[in-house]
Amino acid sequence: MRELTYAEALREGLRQAMTADPGVFIIGEDIGVYGGAFGVSAGLLDEFGEERVIDTPISEAGIAGACIGAALTGMRPVGEIQFMDFITLSMEQLVLQAAKVRFMFGGKASVPMVLRTPGGSGTGAAAQHSESLENWFVHVPGLKVVMPSTPYDAKGLLLAAIDDNNPVIFVEHKLLYKTKGDVPEEAYRVPLSQTRVVREGQHVTVVATSIMVVRALQAAEELAKEGIELEIVDPRTLKPLDEAPIIESVKKTGRVLVVHEAVEVGGFGGEVVARIASSEAFDYLEAPVRRLGALDIPIPYNRELEYHTVPQVEDIVRDARKLARNEF
């Protein structure tokens, strides 16, 4: 199978969706001539023209509002927020409008829109361009939240999100755009709300999201040299969460570490821990459930400080080793 980068997989998914359905269009800042801040939409303007690849003024509320209005009329817009930090400016449109319309109108209206946004640190972009805010949207009834960690999942989940009749927040980590993986040519779908066991193991379950899946796999290779086998579970869709594979994995290993890049306080890991604690997996635990997230500070500009603010491979190795050895 051919390899594509994460960004190329997203672009191919957009191209195939736009080719198959004239109601699909993309809209955002600098997505046309410039090709997007991270190059995802490069070349699509030449293929589909200005009516379907729409450059907007710098107005995140305007992008979200245009998507909602278009979706209500039967189109399937894919908006792009250039950096996840700026999604804060579209919160009224997303939280009070997109998330609630279908419920408030008794199912007679739908908002089939996708809002793509790059999140996360690692590029030296400092405190206003490096946040991971996905759990804000997990908290909102009516929104779906997706975080692919591989090129294969990026394309398949994007196509599934475009098909969905609900608003989907689609979070792409900046450091994943250049990663490569096998991606089929056909327009396949990865179903939303389908958790995947990425790596089989027997000693510690690691529930990881986005870039942390990649780091957890690297940590697993290190710990395997010590005889510690990690089982890595990737939710892929944070909401609605497919919790069954997580519960089964915890029952198997008896130990669990939940890892995400977002600030640990109020992060998605707390929800996962609560699900485990209130499930049958609780009786199988051999050690307390552990969380590993970012420090409770804005992302620093200094590269060394930035590195140590969010979980890295060595942090996962350290915490998983402690769990395996009952050292907590």
The pLDDT, as a whole number, for residue 56 is 97
Q: Is residue 212 within 8 Å of residue 268, measured between CB atoms?
A: no
The pLDDT, as a whole number, for residue 326 is 92
Establish if 187 belongs to a structural domain. no
- In terms of phi and psi (left: phi > 0; alpha: psi -120 to 50; beta: otherwise), the region of 42 is beta
Counted domains in the chain: 2
Residues 24 and 61 in one domain: yes
- At which of 182, 215, 232 does a domain end? 182
Report residue 244's pLDDT band, with 50, 70 and 90 as the boundaries. very high
Establish if 287 belongs to a structural domain. yes
Q: CA-based Rg of the chain, rounded to a whole angstrom? A: 20
Report residue 31's pLDDT band, with 50, 70 and 90 as the boundaries. very high
Residues 153 and 8 in one domain: yes
Closest CA to 315 of 218, 210, 196, 205: 218
3-state DSSP call for residue 291? strand
| Residue 77 pLDDT > 90 | yes
Catalytic residue among 8, 60, 261, 306: 60
Residue in the structure block whose two tokens are 């350290």: 318
3-state DSSP call for residue 116? strand
pLDDT digit string (tens) for 211-240?
999 999 999 999 999 999 999 999 999 999
Residues 163 and 227 in one domain: no
Residues 38 and 117 in one domain: yes
Between the CA of residue 283 and those of 55, 250, 304, what are the distances in Å? 54, 10, 41
Q: What's the DSSP call for residue 226?
A: T
Establish if 33 belongs to a structural domain. yes
Residues 173 and 204 in one domain: no
Residues 210 and 236 in one domain: yes
Residues 177 and 201 in one domain: no
Report the C-alpha dihedral over residues 61, 123, 295, 154, rounded to 10 degrees.
60
Establish if 190 belongs to a structural domain. no
Residue 239: strand pairing partners = 145
pLDDT mean across residues, the chain: 97
The pLDDT, as a whole number, for residue 166 is 97
Strand 237-239's sheet: what is its strand order?
53-55, 24-28, 76-80, 114-119, 168-173, 144-146, 237-239
Residues 159 and 206 in one domain: no
DSSP assignment of 136-189 equals HHHTSTT-EEE---SHHHHHHHHHHHHH-SS-EEEEEEGGGTT-EEE--SS---
Residues 205 and 169 in one domain: no
Q: Is 60 marked active-site?
A: yes
DSSP assignment of 235-276 equals -SEEES---HHHHHHHHHHS-EEEEEEEESTT-HHHHHHHHH
Residues 130 and 244 in one domain: no
C-alpha 105: how far from chain center:
29
pLDDT digit string (tens) for 195-212?
999 999 999 999 999 999
- At which of 182, 214, 237 does a domain end? 182
The pLDDT, as a whole number, for residue 1 is 82
C-alpha 196: how far from chain center:
14
Amino acid at 83: F
Residues 36 and 59 in one domain: yes
pLDDT digit string (tens) for 98-110?
999 999 999 999 9
- Supply the CATH number for residue 299's domain: 3.40.50.920
| Residue 11 pLDDT > 90 | yes
Establish if 191 belongs to a structural domain. no
User: What range does the domain containing 226 cover?
Assistant: 196-324
pLDDT digit string (tens) for 279-305?
999 999 999 999 999 999 999 999 999
Residue in the structure block whose two tokens are 């090129």: 151
The pLDDT, as a whole number, for residue 328 is 78
Between the CA of residue 125 and those of 128, 267, 297, what are the distances in Å? 7, 21, 15
- At which of 182, 215, 240 does a domain end? 182
Cα distance between residue 267 and residue 121, in whole Å: 16
Residues 175 and 117 in one domain: yes
Catalytic residue among 12, 29, 129, 203: 129
